[in-house]
Amino acid sequence: MIVPKFNFILLSLGAALGLTRPALCADEPIPASAPVESVAGNKLTLESAIAEAVAQSPALRVIEADIDSARGETLTAQTRPSPELFFAPGLKHVREGDSSRNEFKGTLALTQQLVFAGKRELLVSIAERNVELRKLGVEGLRFQLAAAVQKTFYELLAAQGVVALRQQQLESAQTFQQAATKRAASGYASDFEAVKSQGDVINAKKMIVAAEGEIAAARVELNSLLGRDPSAPLEVSGALTDAAPERTLPDLLAAALADNPSLRVQAMQAEIAGLSVRKAKLARKPEISVGPSLEYSKSEQVLSIGATVSLPNKNYGKGELQTATAEQRKVLAETERLRREITGAVTKAATQLTTARNQLALYAPAYLEQLKTVVEQAEKSYTQNATTLLIYLDAKRTYFDTLADYYEAVASVATHRAELESAVGVPLEFKSSKTNP
């Protein structure tokens, strides 16, 4: 499946379509693309939103603390066991003929534990991989957090544009209502015209309330991602863009299975599980300690070298080995499950993005320009009593509804692209499999 390429940059529909006045009679041509910006206030860009979300994320701070903890475990694993010094002072009772005496006797021993060959290196490898595992977790969380912010940002940006469009619709309806009321009062029009114009005003206000509800919902979600008060005021500024290159489904799946942070984390966990099995096997090896010892008394001094070996136990270490082996099987099964879930998510998201792009392609610039011309002609004909009120109102309603649908289609492409990047785990600008070395 080939995802069609569709590059566009859109500004607010009012500016893009030349609707700077309530009456629909602007002469400016419709631009092919322009950025969409919020109307007022302190505006938040996508880049600053992502940076703020990453900086304020408590989950990232938790993982970063885990990285420091894992580094401490690495340092511990690299440290050789310290030698142990043993000292036992006492008295020695000595009998000589009919007499006896007590004299000091002390035992001094120094022992060093010998780590079984390869065991310390294995512990260091496990600790180092735990550090890398947490670093991968930070990388994956950063990307998923950025994808979530991007999706919500586009939803809020689109909702702001729809509100601006509906406000223009309300202004147009109010202008027509004033004219209709005057016409009815002067006897040039029926009371139905005035009542119908009032209904259009009510309908436009209703649509504004609905669009503002969409803004409120997106604002709460974005504020939460940014670590702000959910009800805090927030406006965003930017462009709804889709500059991603064409990607076939096989390329998307290959990129996801190779570079998705979740799968990379899972692969590292599988590697650690394998090392843990080796560690459990080495745990069954006996512990050996060696070192010199000195027994001292006034009449006798004994210097010797001794060794301590743990006695074998057929059940020792079996439980740890069984647990480590089971954990390894579990990690491998979870890896396979995750691969299937990612494959399904990427396929679904790619299909949705293709559908959204195909829907957006239906709104050709020539059609939008033609729609604007039809509304202007209907308005002119109505003022000259050359067309009916219902035709004029239907043309105007179709105009605003089509622009709102067009705007939602633009937002749909942007949000579905964010969802696809989240599923793949990497930006869509990755190198295709054909160009990879």
Q: Which CB contacts under 8 angstroms, 24+ apart, belong to 91-99? A: 92/297, 92/299, 94/299
- Binned average pLDDT, 10 residues per bin, the chain of 437 residues: 30 30 34 37 81 87 85 83 88 81 87 80 87 87 88 88 87 82 74 80 90 91 91 85 74 91 90 87 81 86 87 74 88 93 94 91 89 86 77 84 88 88 84 46
Q: How far apart, in whole angstroms, are the C-alpha atoms of residue 150 and residue 144?
A: 10
DSSP assignment string, 222-253: HHHHHTS-TTS--EEEE-----PPP-BHHHHH
Q: What is the pTM of this model?
A: 0.68
For residue 87, list its beta bridge partners: 108
**What pLDDT, on the 0 to 100 scale, is given for residue 375?**
85
**What pLDDT, on the 0 to 100 scale, is given for residue 6?**
28
The domains of the chain, with CATH numbers, are 13-84+118-285+339-424 (1.20.1600.10)
Q: Give how far Cα 429 sits from Cα of 129, 246, 262, 264, 361, Å.
A: 29, 9, 19, 19, 22
**What pLDDT, on the 0 to 100 scale, is given for residue 244?**
63
The residue behind tokens 């979530």 is: 148
For residue 305, list its beta bridge partners: 292
Q: Which amino acid is at 118?
A: G
Half-sphere exposure of 220 (CA within 13 A, CB side): 6
Q: How far apart, in whole angstroms, are the C-alpha atoms of residue 188 and residue 186?
A: 6
Q: Which amino acid is at 76?
A: T
**Residue 263 CB partners (closer than 8 Å, separation 6+):** 256, 257, 335, 338, 339, 342, 425
Tokens linked to 431? 């190198």
**What pLDDT, on the 0 to 100 scale, is given for residue 250?**
92
Tokens linked to 222? 């974005």
Q: Which amino acid is at 67?
A: I
